[in-house]
Structure 1
Amino acid sequence: MLRIKTLAIVTLACILSACSNAEKKEEVNKNTSGRPARAAAKAIPDTIQNVLFFGTSLTAGYGLEDQAQAYPALIQKKIEALNLPYRVINAGLSGETSAAGKTRIDWLLKQPVGVFVLELGANDGLRGLSVKQTSMNLQAVIDRVKKKNPEVKLLMLGMQMPPNMGAKYTTEFKELFSNLASKNQMAYVPFLLEGVGGVPKLNQQDGIHPTAEGQKILAENVWKELEGLL
Structure 2
Amino acid sequence: MLKNNQLLIHINHISQKVFLKFCCIFLLIFMFSCKQDTSKKATTLETTTSKTETNQTENSSVKTIVFFGDSLTAGYGLEDVNDAFPGIIQQKIDSLQLNYSIVNSGVSGETTSGGKNRIDWVLNQKPTIFILELGANDGLRGVPLKQSKENLQDIIDAVKEKYPETIIVLAGMQIPPNMGQEYTTEFKNMFPDLATRNDLYLIPFLLENVGGISDLNQKDGIHPTKEGHQILAKNVWTVLKPILK
Letter in 2 for 1:137: N
Q: Corresponding residue for 1:153?
A: 167
Does residue 211 (structure 1) correspond to residue 195 (structure 2)? The answer is no
Aligned with residue 64 of structure 1, among 71, 78, 103: 78
- Compare relative contact order (CA 8 Å, sep 6+) and give the higher one, 1 or 2: 1
Which structure has greater helix proportion? 2
Q: Corresponding residue for 1:20?
A: none
Aligned pairs for 1:132-151 (under 5 A) are: 132-151=146-165
Letter in 2 for 1:133: Q
Letter in 1 for 2:217: N
Q: Corresponding residue for 1:9?
A: none
Q: Corresponding residue for 1:105?
A: 119
Contact 1:45 1:85 in 2 (8 A): no
Post-superposition offset of 1:228: 1.3
Contact 1:196 1:202 in 2 (8 A): yes
Could you tell me the percent identity over the aligned residues? 56
Instruction: Give distance in 2, aligned partners of 1:111 and 1:214.
Output: 30
Instruction: Give distance in 1, aligned partners of 2:230 and 2:113.
Output: 29
SS at match of 1:100: helix
Letter in 1 for 2:117: T
Aligned with residue 193 of structure 2, among 167, 179, 183: 179
Aligned with residue 130 of structure 1, among 144, 152, 160: 144
Letter in 1 for 2:62: I
Instruction: Give distance in 1, aligned partners of 2:64 and 2:90.
Output: 11
Instruction: Give distance in 2, aligned partners of 1:73 and 1:191.
Output: 19
**TM-score normalised per structure 1:** 0.80
Unaligned runs of 5+ in 1: 1-43
Instruction: Give distance in 2, aligned partners of 1:61 and 1:73.
Output: 9
Q: How many aligned residue pairs are there?
A: 187
Post-superposition offset of 1:46: 6.7
Q: Corresponding residue for 2:100?
A: 86
Instruction: Give distance in 2, aligned partners of 1:153 and 1:130.
Output: 28
Q: Corresponding residue for 1:202?
A: 216
Aligned with residue 184 of structure 2, among 160, 166, 170: 170
Post-superposition offset of 1:65: 1.0
**TM-score normalised per structure 2:** 0.75
CA deviation profile, 1:77-121 (whole Å, cap 9, x unmatched): 111111111110000000100011001010010001100000000
Say which one has the larger Rg.
2
